[in-house]
């Protein structure tokens, strides 16, 4: 089932998500819904808080469904290592219509459980490393806008407030 994606300003997006205690049929259904929602958006990643579920799960696929092995599902993910630096433009399904350049490490090693409860470890560089870090931010209540400083952040937040007041956000 495709779920509505929450937008910047909605409470659960700005709170730290809780650990998944057990892999239940409800968690499995949530993962299915997240995958379907991410592909329908279309996006390359989606975290559970973006669909209103404050739990530590994200899905990512930088091939946007073109590579059958591209889909990564991580439950209770944690960073193992991060290093380097990349400066690239980033957007977010929860901040539609806005992009900005965000500084992030260029390499990330992450571990977490797959849907079956098996520990997985992924090493990523470039776009996939960025996607992992972006989704991990969501699990900690941070959106890419929160990583911006100065006038760029102020402009985006002001435009969102204006859209909200006009009932268009």
- CATH number at 107 reads 3.90.45.10
Tokens linked to 119: 């520990």
pLDDT for 115 equals 95
Residue 6 belongs to a domain: no
Q: Provide the residue range defining the domain that includes 112.
A: 11-165
Tokens linked to 92: 């977010």
3-class DSSP state of 18:
strand
Residue 120 belongs to a domain: yes
Average pLDDT along the chain: 97
Residue-wise pLDDT tens digits, 12-49: 999 999 999 999 999 999 999 999 999 999 999 999 99
135: annotated active-site residue? yes
Catalytic member of 26, 36, 81, 135? 135
**Angstrom distance (rounded) from CA 82 to CA 60:** 18
> How buried is residue 83: exposed, middle or buried, by Cβ count under 10 Å (0-12/13-18/19+)?
exposed
Residue-wise pLDDT tens digits, 109-153: 999 999 999 999 999 999 999 999 999 999 999 999 999 999 999
**Angstrom distance (rounded) from CA 41 to CA 81:** 30
Does the pTM exceed 0.85?
yes
């Amino acid at each position: 089932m495709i779920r509505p994606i929450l937008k910047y300003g909605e409470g659960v997006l700005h709170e730290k998500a809780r650990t998944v205690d057990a892999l239940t049929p409800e968690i499995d259904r949530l993962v299915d819904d997240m995958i379907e929602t991410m592909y329908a958006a279309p996006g390359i990643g989606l975290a559970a808080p973006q669909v209103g579920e404050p739990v530590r799960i994200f899905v990512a696929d930088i091939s946007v469904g073109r590579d059958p092995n591209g889909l990564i599902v991580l439950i209770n993910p944690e960073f193992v290592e991060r290093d380097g630096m990349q400066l690239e433009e980033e957007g977010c399904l929860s901040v539609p219509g806005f992009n900005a350049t965000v500084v992030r490490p260029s390499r990330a090693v992450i571990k977490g459980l797959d849907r079956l409860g098996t520990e997985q470890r992924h090493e990523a560089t470039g776009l996939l490393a960025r996607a992992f870090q972006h989704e991990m931010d969501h699990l900690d209540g941070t959106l890419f806008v929160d990583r911006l400083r100065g006038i760029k952040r102020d402009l985006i937040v002001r435009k969102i407030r204006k859209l909200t007041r006009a009932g268009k956000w």
